[in-house]
C-alpha cells in the first residue's frame, strides 16, 4: 500500500489511522490541514486542488521513506485531497506512529513541510470578491521575480561591494 496517496472524496481518518497500528508503538501523531476562510488579506470561500499525480505520488512516497529513515518511527502515511473543497474540509492528513512521541512529532512535521514544498500539487483559491487565484503563482508572476532582482543586484555588487555581498551569501550557502 502506497504511503502517499490522493483521494477525490473526504479523507477517512479512522481508516487511515488503522494502517499505523503497531503493538510496538506507544502512540501516534497526526496533522490535519483544513480549508481556511482567509489568506493574505483575502476572504476565501472555497478551494480547488489539482495534482500531477504520476509524479506527486512518487515524490510523496520518497518523502515518507525519507521520514522513516531519518526518524526511528514505526509507520507513516500521508493522504492529500484533490478536487473542489469547501471551508473546513480536510485537505491533507499526515499520521505517524512510534514507540515514543518525540520522534513521531518530528517525523509528522517533516512530512507535512516537505509535502508543501516538493510535491506537485496546486491550490486555486476563490475569493468573496469573485476573484480567484493560484496560490504562489499569480502574485509572483506579476512582480519581477527574485531571480531577476538578485541578478541585477549581483551585477552592481561585483563592481562596487564584492566583499559585502559575500558576507550576505555565506549564511544562505550554509543554510541548505
Partner 1 sequence: MQLKIQYYALMREQAGRSEETLDTACATPADLYGELVTRYGFTLTREQLKVAVNSEFSDWSRRLAAGDAIVFIPPVAGG
Which residues of the chain form contacts with partner 1 (CB under 8 A)? Answer: 33, 49-52, 54-55, 58-59, 80, 91-92, 112, 115-124, 134-138, 140-142, 145, 147-148
Cβ at position 33, least distance to partner 1 in Å? 5
* Nearest CB to partner 1, comparing residues 27 and 148: 148
Cβ at position 78, least distance to partner 1 in Å? 10
Cβ at position 73, least distance to partner 1 in Å? 20
Radius of gyration from C-alpha coordinates of the chain? 20
* Nearest CB to partner 1, comparing residues 76 and 121: 121
Cβ count near 74 (within 10 Å): 20
Consecutive H or E run containing 50: strand 42-51
Cβ at position 38, least distance to partner 1 in Å? 15
* Nearest CB to partner 1, comparing residues 120 and 157: 120
State whether the Cα torsion 87-78-12-22 is positive or negative. Answer: negative
Residue with cell 502515511: 77
Is residue 77 within 8 A of residue 99, CB to CB? The reply is no
Amino acid at each position: 500500500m502506497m504511503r502517499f496517496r490522493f483521494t477525490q472524496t473526504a479523507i477517512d481518518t479512522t481508516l487511515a489511522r488503522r494502517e499505523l497500528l503497531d503493538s510496538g508503538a506507544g502512540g501516534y501523531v497526526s496533522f490535519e490541514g483544513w480549508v481556511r476562510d482567509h489568506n493574505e488579506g483575502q476572504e476565501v470561500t472555497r478551494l480547488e486542488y489539482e495534482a500531477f499525480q504520476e509524479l506527486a505520488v512518487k515524490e510523496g512516497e520518497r518523502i515518507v521513506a525519507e521520514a522513516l529513515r531519518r526518524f526511528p518511527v514505526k509507520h507513516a502515511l500521508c493522504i492529500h485531497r484533490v478536487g473542489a473543497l469547501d471551508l473546513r474540509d480536510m485537505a491533507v492528513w499526515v499520521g505517524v506512529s512510534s514507540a515514543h512521541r518525540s520522534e513521531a512529532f518530528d517525523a509528522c512535521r517533516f512530512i507535512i513541510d516537505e509535502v508543501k514544498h516538493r510535491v506537485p500539487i496546486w491550490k486555486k483559491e476563490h475569493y468573496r470578491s469573485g476573484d480567484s487565484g493560484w496560490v504562489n503563482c499569480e502574485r509572483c508572476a506579476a512582480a519581477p521575480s527574485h531571480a531577476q532582482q538578485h541578478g541585477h543586484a549581483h551585477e552592481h555588487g561585483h563592481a562596487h561591494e564584492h566583499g559585502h555581498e559575500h558576507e550576505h551569501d555565506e549564511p544562505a550557502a550554509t543554510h541548505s
